[in-house]
Structure formats: structure tokens, C-alpha cells
Structure 1
Amino acid sequence: MYLIAKHPYIKIERKVTSVEQIDIEHQRVIYLYHDRVVTQNREFPIKDVMDFSYREIANQGGILYLHTLRGVYTYTVKSSPEAFLSAFKEHFKSSQ
């Protein structure tokens, strides 16, 4: 299992009390290996991964979409995942 690419993403946790709402930002990383994609809570065999796409949101980062046979998963990113997407396309899209 060798690492091809990785990219940071964030997960926002909201805590609501009777007095206030607190947003806690958790820093996480999505990893692209030759046989799987791994996030904090999920692991996808590469054979189940159909594609990745990215949508920028007002120059503040955007949403990284992971398209799988089980559905689409979204990850909030603060920086462009262009290198990550290029690595995926270079290693997997050309062989399909």
C-alpha cells in the first residue's frame, strides 16, 4: 500500500447550548493510495471509486466530491485540490 496523494479537508462540528452556538473546526486529511481512498471515518476500495470532482466556493476553498458506487461523499476544503485530482486522473483514469 503506497501513498499517491493526500489533501487536507475540514469537518465542522456544531455545539449548541441554551446560551450559544459554537463551531469547532476539525482538520483532517483524505489519502489516495494505489488500492483505496481513506478518510477519517471511511475507507473506499479503489474499484468502488468512480471519480473526484471539485467546486470552488467564492475563492474560499470549496467542496471536494468523491463519486463512488455507494454514492457521492463531500469534503470541505480550504485550498484547491488540483494536485490531488491530477494524481487521481494520472494513476487511475488513464487505465480505465
Structure 2
Amino acid sequence: MRVIAEQPYVKVERYIALTGKHYIEDDRTLYLCTDRILSKYHEFPLEIVWDVSYRRVGPRGGLLYLHTKKGVNVYTVKESPEQFIEAFRNVK
């Protein structure tokens, strides 16, 4: 299992306190390996990954969609994942 590409993403958690709504950003990384895609808590064998796509939201970031046999997983990215998507398509 060799890492081919990496894509930083952010997990945003929202919580409500007496002082109002608060957001916590946790910086994480997606790893494209020769046989799977790994996130902090999930592992997706490439056999079940159909496609990876991106939708720009706002001036800088957007949403990275991982289309799998078990559904779609969405990751918030702050920079364009074009190189990650290109690497995925070359491996797939």
C-alpha cells in the first residue's frame, strides 16, 4: 500500500452553547493509495469507489464528493482537489 496522492480537508463541527453557535475546524487528510482511499476514520477499497468529483463553493474552497457503492461521502476542502482527482482517475 503506497500513497499516491494526498488531499487536505476540514471536518467542521458545530455546537451550541449559552454564548451562541460555535464551530470547530479539524484539519485532516485524504490519502489515495494504490488499492484504497483512506480518511481519518474510514477506508474505501478502490473496487467500491466509482468516482471522485468536486463542486466549488465560495471563492476558494468547495466540496469533494467520493461516490462509492455504499453511498456518497462529502469532504470540505479549502483548496482545489484537481491533482487528487486526476491521480484517482489514473489509478482507476
TM range (shorter): over 0.9
CA distance in 2, matches of 1:86, 1:45: 18
TM-score, scaled to structure 1: 0.91
Deviation at residue 15 of structure 1 after TM alignment: 1.9
Amino acid at match of 2:85: L
Q: SS of the residue aligned with 1:79? A: coil
CA distance in 2, matches of 1:90, 1:73: 21
Moved more, 37-46 or 13-22: 13-22
Alignment partner, residue 46 of structure 2: 46
The equivalences for 1:14-93 within 5 A come to 14-92=14-92
Alignment partner, residue 6 of structure 2: 6
- The alignment's C-alpha RMSD in Å is 0.9
* CA deviations over 1:7-38 (Å, ceiling 9, x no partner): 00001111211222211110000000011110
Query: Unaligned 5+ residue runs, structure 2?
Result: none
TM-score, scaled to structure 2: 0.95
Count of residues paired in the alignment? 92
Higher percent of residues as strand: 2
| Matched-pair identity in % | 46
Stretches (4+) displaced over 6 A: none
Deviation at residue 91 of structure 1 after TM alignment: 1.5
Amino acid at match of 1:50: W
